Every structure is written in C-alpha cells, then in structure tokens.
A and B are shown apart, each in its own frame.
Chain A
C-alpha cells in the first residue's frame, strides 16, 4: 500500500500497539533545555529511575541565558537556578550537555542540525513546541510537555496517537528578496493558527526543493504556528550535502554516510499515497509578508494595508479590533507606514548563518536609522564564529547594530532582552503574541531581509524595490 513519508517514519518507530489507536513510539533523539526539564529530572530521581539512553539525549541552555558580554554571570536567581539544575542533571545522568560558554552552545533547534544530532528518518522530541524545526531533514519532530519529557527520559518512548497527513505544496519560483519565512507566513495567513491541528504537514513542491536546508528549517519551525505539531520535508541531495558538510560531529561519515544516504533516499511519499488534507500555494507572485496583529495568522503583504475589522476570515471583528488596539494600528494604514523602533534578528526560526548573511547583505555600508535599536543574536555559538569569520559582525556593528552571543533572547524575552511597553519591533522570530517580547511590546514578524530593511528606513519597505 502507498504510504506518506510521515507514515513510513512513524511505522518504522512503533515499538508496540497499545490499543485504541495508541502506540508506543520509539524516540531516536531527545533534546533538552533548562526551562522545561528540571521537574522531569527530579521526577526520575524520586522514582529511582535512570535515563534509559543518555547517549540519545542532548541538552543545552538557551531560553533564559543573557546574550551580552556579561552572560556568564546570570543575575536573575531563578534563571540561574534553572541553568545550574541542568548542569547538575546532565552531569548526574550522563546526558551530553553543551553548556553556556561552550563552542557548541546555542538555541537547541539550531544546534541539533548543526552538530549532526538530527538526521533523516528519525523521531525527535523536545520540551518545546518549535521542535517541528527538525522535520526539515525528513524526520518526525514534535514538542512535548514536562511529564512527557520525563517519560522519554525513562523509556525512550512516548504513548502517542498518529496525527493526520496534511500535504502543503508550494509551486512556482520565489522572486528575489522573498524567502522561506514569507512562504510559511503566507501559509499561516491562509489556514489560520489552528488550520493544521491534529495533523503533520508534509511540505513539498518545486519551491520547497529550491530551498536550502536553512530555508526548510525555517518553514518546518513554524508548522506549530499553523496548528500542526510536526512538519516535514522529504530529504534530497540538498539534505545529504548538508549532513556531509561542516563539522557535524554526530553525523555518520565516509562509507557509513553512503550507506545511510542509500536508506534516506527511500524517505519519500509513495505515488498515490492518500493525504487527509491538501493545499497548493503558488509562490510566483508572493510578496514579502508582515504581520499586523497578535497572532501569526494576522499577516499581509508588505504592499498591503492593515485590514478592515471584518476582512480577516480566520478572525472575528472583535479579535481584530483587540489585536489592533494592542498593536496601536488602525484599519487602512499602509504596512509601509508602520514606524518601528526595534529590530531583532535571531531565534530558532531565523538565527542561522544564511539568515545573518541575508540581513547583512541588505545592511552592508548603510546605517541603522537613528530612531531604531537593532540587535543581532546568532542562533548558536557556531553560527556566531562562522559569521565573524565572514566579518558579518563588522557589517552589523559598523551599521550601528548590537552583535550578541547565542540564545533565544528577544524571541520570548525570558532573558534580559525585552521590549518595553509600546515598543514596536520588526522581528525574525515566530510569535507575535501579546507580551511575547516584553509586556506591552508590539511584534511584527518578518524575514531577516525585511527586518534589516526596516532597520535602515525606520519603517517597513518592500525589499524587492531595493534589489
């Protein structure tokens, strides 16, 4: 019988059928960070249990760590306690830790691919909803809660029911200046933030095939913003080249890699396989996307306007009104008239080297507007080193931006990087929820190129006009 890519990987990981559609699913890689893991480790200890496979478990500190020069001295006692707890838990259980100050530290979803920890055909979980990122390799990757973190630590499995299959095909060729971020924002604008609930997306089509691994990671990262716990892309030569390149310590090498690639080539959806839902989006005319509200689905073309209250199918007029009140915007305002005062480039969505290159290309030789504060937070220390090797840090610093160390930073503002009340940010992150980047802060989600353009001009500009 014809199978989807998702079903093939799922079926290959079923340890046992438990009845009522529930299965015991084997987990190949468990990624751990400091905020959602302490009670899970504690629970394990209280029950006298061990981490079953410390060799398959990898941890880092990312959510609450400072990203400035003084990052090693965490002044928030609760953040410090969480970081210290992870250090101790990793030492006690033998889990591999990339601690603060280590060359390999960074946002968990950036370092997983970078270190070769995540590979095609795997099942990957983490106590974080953006675990979907890793689906870009053609793997099943999804976020879990703290009780499930403990379950995976103890058993290397999860009790799960299989989600439905949702095919999202991107046809056509992107215009110059339009990116993977714009593709996924467009998708969420069409289906809303609950459109993929109960499903796993398979992203396919020529526009996906044309993307680098970095771009595919960006799209899968935001599957959760479309309601799906997982999103995946079938691996191809671009995937194999990525795994073979760079310093991917945990990836197979040589003959072992060749053997693995032969297996990975089977990771495709069979001809005639049935999907529960299908959607096709032509990206030929896709404009750069900018969110105007307090949900990633509240998004429009940079060439467009803030919509009328009753013109947003996925949201009620009351929801739109509330969002616009929070955002300090009115219907009919041109998106390019929205003035911003902060720009954040970073996060698990857009904190990879390619993202920094994209922003640097726009900003090179120019200055950040006087009214704007721009911070660049590499997704990992490895990204930071690579960017500095290319002198991207000089480009940003010369333009007047702040160059930081790796972490989640202003994506969720658990560390000291926060927006103040009513500050307005062009952000390359993934959530524009109320208060997400700081209490009262206003977030507009955009691509790195669009963020950099806004930094120079102090308002949104259609990047295509400048190319």
Chain B
C-alpha cells in the first residue's frame, strides 16, 4: 500500500445521501478476476447513458473533475453490500479521500465500506453536516476548487478564492498509523520478516 502523503487535489461532489455500493459499482462488473480496472465502472448507472456514451450532466464527466482526488457526498456513503469492488472503483478512479457528514444516528459511512477503505489506502473523513454544506456551497460557486488533505495533522484545507477554509478531523490512531506508513496487514506482517525467516531457519 502507498504511504498516504499530504496532497492538493480537485474536489468533486456527488450531492446525495445513502449512496449504496450497487450505485458505486453495479453487479455486472463483479465478474472480473482482476482487482484492477474498476475505475471506469464507478457510478456507472449515473455516469453513462444506456447506449454507453457519457452522461454529460454527471459531475465526473465534466472536464474540470476528470482528475478529481477528493470526493464529497452526503451521509451513509457506501451502504449496501460488502463488495470490496466498490472501494476498488472509487480508488481506481483516482480518489484518495472520501468526505461525508455524520448527522445524529446516521453515520457518515457504512461500516463495512469504511473498513474496506482502510485495507485499500482510501481515507474516509467524517465531518459535521454544517461543514459539508459549506464545502458543497463552495463547489457550486467555484467548480474545480482544490483542497489540501494533511493526514499527519488531521486537517483539510479548501482553497476557496476568498480565503482558505480549514477543517480539522478525527481519525482512528491505528488506521492513521497504517495509512501514513503505507501499511496494509501484509505490510504489517512483513515487519516481522526477520522473525519469519528465523522460524524457517529452525523449522526446516
């Protein structure tokens, strides 16, 4: 897994709540034997017309968002099935971060989706509904606006024309350590490569 380093990228907003994993990647794309190639399938029912052509109205088809790296949406993002293909699709489109708001009992992200994100280096950031509203308003006025995401200092800065908008966020320290150091479970275990080699040396 790549280390999560501070970056500045275009913010794209999909202004919906309860975006489920079927919407993120429909089931006909799950038959692949690969873990790659899912980026083109992201949001495919919204993104493409029935004849396969691009739907020009969908946000990710607009030229200024084709290289977006920060995705912002409404609450309960990633609900539905456990398919890790959904996370692969978001990440392989080019997103490094997904931002969503928690409101009362409704979480920002569905549990399994969030957990799958952690295994794939995709950072989920939970904000308040008010903060997310503010970012959506900025996006509307300034499409193509960029944001800097600094995981080390747990800070998102939206570079609006008038002035920077800064948002601090919380993150699970274990997950933060994993992402900042680019460690997946395999990466963590490989820290013990010497122990494994020593075991092998004494156990034929």
Contact = CB atoms under 8 A, between A and B. Distances in A.
Which 7 A-B pairs have CB atoms at the shortest separation, nearest pair first? A38-B33, A42-B35, A15-B199, A39-B35, A155-B189, A154-B186, A16-B195
A155 B196 contact: yes
Interface string B171-204: 0000000000000111001101101100110010
A24 B197 CA distance: 13
B112 interface: no
Given A15-B195, A16-B195, A47-B1, A24 B36 contact: no
Contacts of A155: 186, 189-190, 193, 196
B33 A24 contact: no
B155 interface: no
A43 B31 CA distance: 16
A49 to B, nearest CB: 7
Interface string A21-65: 000101000000000001100110011010010000000000000
B33 A46 contact: no
Given A24-B189, A147-B185, A156 B196 contact: yes
B159 interface: no
A24 B185 contact: no
A259 to B, nearest CB: 11
Nearest to B189: A155
Contact of A47 (B31, B186, B200, B203): B186
A81 B195 contact: no
Nearest to A49: B186
24 contacts: A15-B192, A16-B192, A24-B195, A26-B196, A26-B199, A26-B200, A26-B203, A42-B33, A42-B35, A43-B35, A47-B1, A85-B33, A147-B119, A150-B186, A151-B185, A151-B189, A154-B189, A155-B186, A155-B190, A155-B193, A156-B196, A156-B200, A157-B189, A159-B185
Contacts of A430: none
B130 interface: no
Nearest to B182: A47
A212 to B, nearest CB: 29
Nearest to B187: A47
B33 A39 contact: yes
Given A38-B34, A154-B186, A15 B119 contact: no
A78 interface: yes
A429 interface: no
Nearest to B188: A159
Contacts of B31: 78
Interface string B72-95: 000000000000000000000000
A105 interface: no
Contacts of B185: 147, 151, 159
A138 B203 CA distance: 18
B33 A159 contact: no
Interface in A231-259: none
A67 interface: no
Interface residues of B, number: 19
A230 B153 CA distance: 45
Contacts, number: 57
Chain A interface residue bracket vs B: 20 to 34
Interface of B: 1, 31, 33-36, 119, 184-186, 189-190, 192-193, 195-196, 199-200, 203
A157 B185 CA distance: 11
A39 B184 CA distance: 16
Nearest to A26: B199
Contact of B33 (A15, A26, A81, A156): A81
Contacts of B195: 15-16, 24
A46 B189 CA distance: 17
A218 interface: no
Contacts of A52: 196
A346 B34 CA distance: 31
Contacts of A151: 185-186, 189
Contacts of B34: 38-39, 42
Contacts of A294: none
A306 to B, nearest CB: 35
A82 interface: yes
B198 to A, nearest CB: 8
B124 to A, nearest CB: 19
A146 B185 CA distance: 13
Nearest to A38: B33
Contacts of A26: 196, 199-200, 203
Interface string A127-165: 000000000000000000001001100111101000000
A408 to B, nearest CB: 18
Nearest to A82: B33
A157 B35 contact: no
A151 B119 CA distance: 12
B19 to A, nearest CB: 24
B32 to A, nearest CB: 8
Contacts of B192: 15-16, 24, 157
B166 to A, nearest CB: 34
Contacts of A157: 189, 192, 196
Nearest to A18: B192
A129 B152 CA distance: 41
A207 to B, nearest CB: 34
Nearest to A158: B189
